[in-house]
Structure 1
């Protein structure tokens, strides 16, 4: 009966009837973004991954708050490389069941990673697994060297039931890549039952590059994690504890993630006790509305493995986004930001100290490059931009032969719903730019994440704020992602430099740490000279939670895992 009452309470929450306080065995989370998928094979946004990491499990994960030490999950033990660093043989944990009731075997793991390589979609994280296992981030449609023989040879089960990875060359980041939430093991039989790929050579080509986001497996997941899906609609995801979880019983039996777009509404629900965790906004929002209030607990000065920036698109592919498309004061040309003078002018027009003061309450710090300063390869002695209206005006007057200063422009810049930091960054930039010339105007708009994530991959955004959190704890995950023309964010700003591409390729092909560091510093110096991004100051993380929630601590906080909320798995939490 106790379980029945708790599920009834959770159903009331899902239906919109708020309880005075969430039940002891129920965790209610409120955030601003929409969950886009529950399929680990396509998921690449933070909010979807935070649900997926509790439904599916990877071979191993980070130990506590460490960014370097691993502990096994579905692997029986951590493996070691053989064959000069090109082979990894994994023993799998026995006695593990999927939510469907199917036992987990090596065939499921083999199917999972082959499926990742086959479907490898531009909007998924599978590019970095493909890069390690096949020597290219591209799928078979884009790169004809990707064959079934290569895919089958890259990941297979041996006669002893061990999972064998064979890399074309050593990759020191490969084990960290396999700890990424999107590398969770899929239930092969269940996936095929849902109409997914059947795992055979006969059908693989029909599934190359397939978008899995709308597939039945996304709607009906079956993982090995501590929680299984009960219901998912446009505004809510409901999970309940998996009774046959190999890791044992959990204290939190039910999980509800609610989409609540308005920050003030989330904060009030949190203060009433209707929500245990919320996307709480900026540090200044937390200090003004939540700090010191009854029932509120805060942990501060937490590490971060993210890099925030304002993107300026050098080649905008949306005619509707650029107004007139001309230097007539009513829009901008599609290649407006391809002039380095424009990019430098915007970099000098941003008030970094105001951002640190108003958004980060003085705890922020300017970075020299889009790489966390705790990572190897960070170069602290590369110059940074500062707010300088005189220099900003100087560069605007040089831009496009004087046309920018003479005629002015209208820019449409968007942030995602609920992204308070991004909204504030755009407002600070708008203030700085528009003060220079009455003919300059920046229009700030808001979009749901589902819309924005599709648009920036199609080069349709003019200017957006974006933060990249670590998929795996190697500098390549940031440097290649941001700065290479082969990186994930290239369509977002379309900036390219031949030397930078060459240096980043060299850095990912060597295990020589000193050489990698030198190459990354060279990239950072060119990026300073060319200003492809406006680098936003980095903040220390601060997290709020209801003070009856146990298991949240600085010691357990891992910025790679569930970093918007607790930095821990939900199965590690309880309530007093």
Structure 2
């Protein structure tokens, strides 16, 4: 049967709508978290990427489940560089419409990349685009070498209607960078109509570094993708297939994305057939609650290209998170984690084997560095920490000249609400640390995803568990992000090491693979010594789907895409039901 919009909207507002069975033309997804933004320029989290990748399109995307091959979207083909790797000319697809009805042209693509460069900030995924096109990660407010002329000349439209990128130096990762969902093409006329930047030199300075997460474009998006937003509220989003989509009519005509914080509620909806794909929790949750149940198919053995760590912030910028603000047992000072012995104590307090068993059902791997082991540059020979109460006690007794052991501490630690794996990790750490000394106290708390993201990027979180999914398939995207004092995650950890910064900059300056790998090994060794993070073991990815859902397979699973990161599923347009 066909689902009428009125029925869909009723279900949407209910939040936990119960269908006897979801209709063949309707996909119901359930997740624990909210969606921070629907503006591609501000997109830099998997929750937002899940939606944006289905509403908007990049010039090209990853082909099937490959991490190295691309297939064109708004480009007619994946181009090759000329001019010694500094010029990229892109032929654009014709007869493409935006959801607004506006026709797609090169002018939209130029506007998109210029807007990304103008508003570029540490809170968006545009720093690596800026680095490639303007030679710096910074925007014009933070780096005076970034001028309108430099931005305007870096991306242009020629007389043939082709999009031309001009790089100051060759960047072998540039094609992969443009496949990131944050580089999705915007509807220029629609954006301007919504009150966004008008694309001119006259007004560009007013928009430099501007936070567009909650932009009018986020509230009223218009992409070229197969699905368009129909409605949204605090707990759900409703999408319908875009009738004017150039790529053909998808089988799934309606998509409902519901925010259901409770894992048990999501699982029950899934088992009843009220939801087609859910954020199903850890491997343990899937195998214990879903595997073998009627109507459920398990897809296992999938690659994991994310990296997760427990952050220990060395410069906490929120007095209300510090308790007393002193090392007196009732709180912690802002620089509590600046002591390496303290960090080593925490690193030896985490039971990695228990996490692998309890969360990953024995199918996990303790990595040596915050880099997927499938990526070039990973070094399996780097030492790792293990759960050792005696070593942990020894390090805690040395920390802060013995004062930590003497006075104790009260520490606040947060994890993403609804994430069973993150909660379990924090509970393991809390139990083991508190068992060492009755004066040690860790208060763990669930926090909404968007709130945790915003607070942590401002350095307000003392300790959090958070991961990184790659923007593009290169070791630099992880190593620089986690370990450089200029990296995206630096405000969350505030760990700085001059030698590490030097090695990472050197790795960016060479195309010699062996030399880069050697430098990354040096970084990993130094990180082991200093323990800026607790490295959470990586699991083998697994997901559950309803047995009538066609297309959610390993062949369509690509860990570089946001839809794979959260639902462990596939782009909506490749799905159908039988």
Which category describes the TM-score, using the shorter chain as reference length? Answer: over 0.9
Report whether the alignment pairs 1:36 with 2:36: yes
Counterpart-to-counterpart distance in 2, 1:566 and 1:455: 27
Query: For 1:450-502, what per-residue CA distance to the aligned partner results, in whole angstroms no more than 9, with x for missing partners?
Result: 21111001100010000111111111110000000111100101000011111
Residues 1:247 and 1:566: Cα distance change in structure 2 (over 3 Å): farther
**Is the CA contact 1:6–1:25 (under 8 Å) kept in the aligned structure 2?**
no
Q: Which position in structure 2 is the counterpart of 1:565?
A: 567
Q: Which position in structure 2 is the counterpart of 1:401?
A: 401
1:10 Cα deviation (Å)? 2.0
Structure 1: gaps (5+ residues): none
**Is the CA contact 1:6–1:23 (under 8 Å) kept in the aligned structure 2?**
no
Q: Which position in structure 2 is the counterpart of 1:67?
A: 67
Q: Which position in structure 2 is the counterpart of 1:488?
A: 488
Query: For 1:347-380, what per-residue CA distance to the aligned partner results, in whole angstroms no more than 9, with x for missing partners?
Result: 0011000001111000001100000000000011
**Is the CA contact 2:58–2:183 (under 8 Å) kept in the aligned structure 1?**
yes
The equivalent position to 1:11 in structure 2, one of 9, 12, 35, is 9
Aligned pairs for 1:347-362 within 5 A: 347-362=347-362
Aligned pairs for 1:105-124 within 5 A: 105-124=105-124
Q: Which position in structure 1 is the counterpart of 2:326?
A: 326
Report whether the alignment pairs 1:263 with 2:269: no
Structure 2 residue matching 1:234: 3-state secondary structure: coil
Aligned length: 574
Report whether the alignment pairs 1:291 with 2:291: yes
Structure 2 residue matching 1:124: 3-state secondary structure: coil
Q: Which position in structure 1 is the counterpart of 2:245?
A: 245
Report whether the alignment pairs 1:337 with 2:350: no
Query: For 1:166-217, what per-residue CA distance to the aligned partner results, in whole angstroms no more than 9, with x for missing partners?
Result: 1111111111010001110000011111111010000000000111122211
Counterpart-to-counterpart distance in 1, 2:556 and 2:249: 20
Structure 2 residue matching 1:359: 3-state secondary structure: helix
Query: For 1:211-262, what per-residue CA distance to the aligned partner results, in whole angstroms no more than 9, with x for missing partners?
Result: 1122211111110000011001111111100011000010000011000111
**Is the CA contact 1:9–1:23 (under 8 Å) kept in the aligned structure 2?**
no
Structure 2: gaps (5+ residues): none
Counterpart-to-counterpart distance in 2, 1:319 and 1:353: 35
Structure 1 residue matching 2:67: 3-state secondary structure: coil
What do you get for the CA RMSD once the two structures are aligned?
0.9
Counterpart-to-counterpart distance in 2, 1:419 and 1:123: 23
1:567 Cα deviation (Å)? 4.2
**Is the CA contact 2:40–2:182 (under 8 Å) kept in the aligned structure 1?**
yes
1:18 Cα deviation (Å)? 2.1
Counterpart-to-counterpart distance in 1, 2:341 and 2:196: 49
Structure 2 residue matching 1:492: 3-state secondary structure: helix
Structure 2 residue matching 1:332: 3-state secondary structure: coil
Q: Which position in structure 1 is the counterpart of 2:147?
A: 147
**Is the CA contact 1:38–1:219 (under 8 Å) kept in the aligned structure 2?**
yes
Counterpart-to-counterpart distance in 1, 2:78 and 2:554: 26
Aligned pairs for 1:406-485 within 5 A: 406-485=406-485
Counterpart-to-counterpart distance in 2, 1:503 and 1:235: 45
**Is the CA contact 2:107–2:157 (under 8 Å) kept in the aligned structure 1?**
yes
Structure 2 residue matching 1:41: 3-state secondary structure: helix
**Is the CA contact 2:54–2:227 (under 8 Å) kept in the aligned structure 1?**
yes
Counterpart-to-counterpart distance in 2, 1:427 and 1:450: 22
Structure 2 residue matching 1:65: 3-state secondary structure: coil
Counterpart-to-counterpart distance in 2, 1:98 and 1:279: 30
**Is the CA contact 1:12–1:18 (under 8 Å) kept in the aligned structure 2?**
no
Counterpart-to-counterpart distance in 1, 2:568 and 2:462: 33
Counterpart-to-counterpart distance in 1, 2:521 and 2:160: 46
**Is the CA contact 2:543–2:569 (under 8 Å) kept in the aligned structure 1?**
no
1:11 Cα deviation (Å)? 2.1
Structure 2 residue matching 1:111: 3-state secondary structure: helix
Mean Cα displacement is larger for which, 409-418 or 13-22?
A: 13-22
Q: Which position in structure 2 is the counterpart of 1:555?
A: 555
TM-score by length of 1: 0.99
Mean Cα displacement is larger for which, 9-18 or 73-82?
A: 9-18
**Is the CA contact 2:553–2:570 (under 8 Å) kept in the aligned structure 1?**
no
Counterpart-to-counterpart distance in 1, 2:548 and 2:569: 17
Q: Which position in structure 1 is the counterpart of 2:166?
A: 166
Counterpart-to-counterpart distance in 2, 1:151 and 1:384: 44
Counterpart-to-counterpart distance in 2, 1:529 and 1:169: 35
Structure 2 residue matching 1:401: 3-state secondary structure: helix
